[in-house]
């Protein structure tokens, strides 16, 4: 599911939020000191989105048939991470059992309702020839 708006925040505020590091050098320094290699934890759904976006910005999952290209790009990503001498953990949907699936469904329904309400407000403003940017209470991010 990811954290809504995290990628946008990190992309726009990267210089203020963190220092750039060379993970290969960092990993080698850790291993030299007898420590374990760094582990990078990756949101699986974002990784899937990122890979398909990289293959074709206009991709559509509904068309199907992209699995061979996706697998090749995923293998390349994993090899690149291995070249950087880091271990990766890809986390996919943590929902477990029927209770987890129900919670997930409820969250998606809530998000859909929130987005629909936001769209209604925006459309109403446009119909009234008002500037939708003036709506303070509208959540503009539609990211997952």
Domain carrying residue 4: 1-94
State residue 142's pLDDT score.
45
User: Are both 72 and 126 inside the same structural domain?
Assistant: no
Mean pLDDT across the chain:
77
User: Are both 80 and 101 inside the same structural domain?
Assistant: no
Share of the chain above pLDDT 70, in %: 76
CA-closest candidate to residue 92, choices 143, 56, 134, 46? 46
State residue 99's pLDDT score.
63
Distance CA 118, CA 132 (A): 10
Average pLDDT over residues 105-114: 79
Residue 40 has pLDDT above 50, yes or no: yes
> DSSP string spanning 33-53?
TTPPPPEEEEEHHHHHHHHHH
Q: How many domains does one find in the chain?
A: 2
User: Are both 49 and 104 inside the same structural domain?
Assistant: no
More confidently predicted of 67 and 1: 67
Q: pTM value?
A: 0.54
User: Are both 100 and 136 inside the same structural domain?
Assistant: yes
Distance CA 117, CA 10 (A): 27
More confidently predicted of 105 and 31: 31
State residue 143's pLDDT score.
47
User: Are both 106 and 89 inside the same structural domain?
Assistant: no
């Amino acid at each position: 599911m990811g954290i809504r708006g995290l990628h946008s925040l990190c992309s726009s505020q990267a210089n203020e939020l963190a220092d750039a590091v060379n993970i290969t050098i960092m990993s080698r320094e850790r291993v030299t000191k007898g420590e374990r290699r760094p582990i990078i934890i990756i949101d699986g759904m974002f990784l899937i989105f990122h890979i398909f976006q990289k293959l074709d910005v206009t991709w559509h999952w509904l068309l199907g048939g992209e699995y061979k290209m996706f697998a090749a790009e995923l293998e390349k990503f994993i090899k690149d991470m291995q070249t950087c001498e880091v271990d990766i953990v890809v986390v996919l949907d943590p929902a477990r059992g029927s209770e987890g699936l129900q919670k997930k469904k409820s969250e998606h329904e809530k998000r859909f309702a929130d987005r629909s309400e936001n769209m209604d407000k925006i459309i109403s403003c446009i119909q009234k020839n008002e500037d939708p940017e003036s709506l303070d209470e509208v959540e503009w991010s539609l990211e997952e």
